[in-house]
Amino acid sequence: MRIMKKILALSIVLLAIGAISFGQVGVSVNTTASATIVAPIAMVKTTDMNFGNVAVNATPGTVVLAPAGTRTATGGVTLPAVGGTISAAVFTVTGTTGATYSITLPASAIISFGAIDMTVNSFTSTPTPTGTLTGGTETLRVGATLNVNGGQAPGLYTSGTPFVVTVNYN
């Protein structure tokens, strides 16, 4: 009887091992790989930003240049009838037709006349914050706010270091 119990126990263990082995049978499936190479995104500047002629009194103010190229003044700043050259920065973005892209604008820039500075900030763009490359191209327009000090010295203020606008595929 003792031998019979040992044979029975051994049979149960062998059956369990056999059942586990059948549950571990692997399955193989074939698959393929692919990749699509897209045209690199590119951007070319077509027009520099220009706030035009600005008059100032003793009170500080701003000139807000919209991406459309229109401008408004606040505080002690006025916009003379002879406006000079006024333009938002304009870029042509190219790449894969129908692709969307994100736009990164600078936080601020400095424009100077000799040792005298003014800050340009609050950059905005059209489109914003993303664009779509219809037909593989789109025009990107960038405006900003010019912060003018009270009694700002007359002169042509320019950026010694260009400001950077970045585009990337989404």
Phi-psi label, residue 156: left if phi above 0, alpha if psi -120 to 50, beta otherwise: beta
Two tokens at 139? 């025009």
Per domain, the residue ranges of the chain are: 42-169
Mean pLDDT of 25-31: 91
Q: What is the pLDDT of residues 88-137, one digit of tens each?
A: 999 999 999 999 999 999 999 999 999 999 999 999 999 999 999 999 99
Q: What is the pLDDT of residues 50-68, one digit of tens each?
A: 999 999 999 999 999 999 9
Contact of 113 with 149, CB cutoff 8 Å: no
- pTM of the complete model: 0.81
Question: Rounded to an integer, what distance in angstroms lies between the CA atom of residue 101 and that of residue 89?
Answer: 18
E strands of 96-136, at which residues? Answer: 100-104, 108-113, 116-126, 130-132
Which amino acid does the sequence have at 48?
Answer: D
CATH architecture entry for 42-169: Sandwich (2.60)
